[in-house]
Structures are given as structure tokens and as C-alpha cells.
Structure 1
Amino acid sequence: MDFREEFLELYRAYIHREGAEKLLDYLLSPQSDFFTAPASTRFHGAYPGGLAEHSVNVYHCLKDYLARERVKEVYQLQYSEETIAVVSLLHDICKINCYRPGKRNVKGEDGVWRSVDTFEYEDKLPYGHGEKSVYIITGFMRLSREEAFAIRYHMGFSGTEDIRNVGASFERFPLSFALCTADMEATYFLEGKQQ
């Protein structure tokens, strides 16, 4: 099963709230490049389909994180399968239609410069990162307050947000920290930097 198929299987199995079908229709429509977009320009998932792959990886990392005995013992977290699927599969929906093919020069080990394919980032709806994902999702379906904060602050302290707000979100909404942790694990451990 490829990542597109796995994404669709998880989405259809767990996300059933009002508006979910319309959001999925949008993701599958010609107006969205969600399943062909990269996850970044040069780093993790910097290839066609990288965004869907990253979203599925974050889902699995979040499930693993929330299943840890110590996490369950300390926080006594109880999230529905739907909440876990919503925040992990849709946290980077803000990246839809933001990447276009481009070229860059790379110096090879032999010292010779070569033109290589890459992606360039061009955001036609510059509304931020996490907040843009929340904005897009809520155009189709409602999010709980904790889901919205988790998606909004999933970049953690690596984003451009006021660090006090990030910390406050992590303290008040444990799902916010858990999603950030899962996103970082998928990004840096599972996917890594692509040259």
C-alpha cells in the first residue's frame, strides 16, 4: 500500500464528523495537489507525494507517542481515534498548492556544479503555517479547541511564533506537545534531510 492509499484508508476509517467528506473531496480534487505535493523544498519529503507520506508518518508517530506507558500514566490522555487522525493527517494541509518545480545548482563531490530538480515555495495564501491549516480545515468541518491548538502550534519552538504562546499551548493542551513531538520525530528521524 502506498502512502496515498494509507492516508485515504486512515481518513475514511476514523474521520466522520460533519464536513469530513467535503474536505476529502477537496483533497482529491484537481484544485488540490495534496497527494502529489512535497513536504518541503529541500529537506524532509522533498519529492512528489512527500506531503502525504509525512502526514501518514506523523499519524503513526503520534499513535506511538500516546501509547507510551509513562505518557499515559502521567497525563492520563484519552483522545479519540478521530482526533488523532484529524490532527496528524491534516496538520500540514497549509502546504497545498504552495510548491512548484524548479532548479538549483549543486556542487558534486567531483567539484562540478550541476543543475538539479528541486521545488520552490510560493504561498498564494500567506496566512502563516499552523494557523493556515486550522483556517482551511475549519472551512469544511469543526475542530475542538485542543485540536485547533495542536495543529496551530505543531511547529513548536522551531516556528516563528511567540515562544510564550507555544509554551502556554503545550502546558494547557497536551495534544499540542504530542503532535509537535510526532511531527519532529517523523521529520528528523523517519524522513531526514533529502539532498
Structure 2
Amino acid sequence: MTNKERFIEIYKTKIHRDGSEKLLEFLMSKNSDFFEAPASTRFHGSYEGGLLEHSLNVYDCLLDYLSRERVQKTYHLNYSEESIAIVALLHDLCKINCYKKGIRNVKENGQWTQVPTFEYHDTLPYGHGEKSVYMISGYMRLKREEAFAIRYHMGFAGNEDARNVGAAFEMFPLAFALSTADMEATYFMESQSSYL
């Protein structure tokens, strides 16, 4: 099964909210490069299909985190399969149509060579997490905890006021769980340097 097939299967199996079909139609349309886009310009997932792969990795990491006994029995973090799929699979929709193929010069063995790269050009500079919430909300209604989870999925690594991040994590634990899953996927599963 390809990553695209797996994404669509999870999406159709887990997400049934009003408007979700229209959002999936958009993701699959010629107006969206979600399935082909990279996840970044030069770091994690900086290749075609990187955004899709990252979204699936975050989904897997979030499922794993939320399945832990301590998380369920001590912290009482129990969320629907739909909420988990929504926040994990859609947290980075803000990256759709933002990456363009380009070339950069790199010095290798004393010689300058041109290598393919991606350049970031955002035509809707609405922020990161908030832009994803905005895009999703154009198709379907998010629960408050889902919206905060997506908005603050960058955690303390983002440009947000640290007080707001901490408050969001305390008030909406799904935000902390999603941020943890996002960091695990980014820094352990997708990092270009091996930690393991």
C-alpha cells in the first residue's frame, strides 16, 4: 500500500464529520499538492511526498503515545479515533502549495555544483498552526481541543508566546500529545542525522 492509499484509507475510515468529504476532495484535487509536497525545504521530509509521509508518521506516533497505560490511566487522555486522525493527518495543511522546486549552489570537494532544492513561498502567510486550523475550518468544524492541538502542535519550538503554549498544553492535553508526536516524527523518524 502506498502512503497516499494509506492516508486515504485512514481518512475515510476514521473521519466522518460533515464536510470531511469535501476536504478530502480538495486534498486530492489539482488545486492541492498535499500528496506530492515536501515537509520542509532542507530538513525533515525535504523531498516529494515528505508532507504526506510526515503526516502519517505523526499519526502513528500519536496513536502510540495515546495507547500508553500511564497516558490513559493516570493522565486520562482518551480521544476518539476521529479526533486523533483529524489532528495528526491534517496538522500541517498550512504547507500545501507553499514549496516550489528550485536550485541552490553547494560546494562539494572544492567545486560548486547546483543541486535541486525546494523554496518556500507562502501566498497566505497566516501563521503555521493557525493557518492549518483556518484551512480545515473552511470545510468542517473542529472541536475546541482539536483546534488548539493543531494550533499549538509546534509547542515551544514555534514562534508562539511560551505562556500561551504552556496554557494550551494544560487546558488541552491533546495539544501536548500532538506536539510530542510531531517532534518524535520530525527528530527521530525523519531527521537526516541518525539518533539511533
Query: Could you say whether these structures have the same fold, taking a TM-score greater than 0.5 normalized by the shorter chain as the test?
Result: yes
Aligned to 2:180: 181
Query: How many Å separate the matches in 1 of 2:65 and 2:111?
Result: 44
Aligned to 1:193: 192
Deviation digits for residues 69-111 of structure 1 (CA, Å, limit 9, x no counterpart): 1211221111000000000000000000000001111222x23
- Structure 1: 5+ residue runs without aligned partners? none
Aligned to 1:59: 59
Aligned length: 193
Aligned to 1:158: 157
Alignment of 1:127-166 (within 5 A): 127-166=126-165
Percent identity over the alignment is: 69
Question: SS at 1:75's partner residue?
Answer: coil
Alignment of 1:108-119 (within 5 A): 108=108, 110-119=109-118
Alignment of 1:88-107 (within 5 A): 88-107=88-107
Question: SS at 1:106's partner residue?
Answer: strand
The TM-score, its normalising length taken from structure 1, stands at 0.97
Aligned to 2:28: 28
Aligned to 2:17: 17
Asked if the contact 1:42–1:193 (Cα under 8 Å) also holds between the matched residues in 2, the reply is no
Question: SS at 2:74's partner residue?
Answer: helix
- Structure 2: 5+ residue runs without aligned partners? none
Query: How many Å separate the matches in 1 of 2:113 and 2:5?
Result: 35
Aligned to 2:42: 42
For the aligned residue pairs, the C-alpha RMSD in angstroms reads 0.9
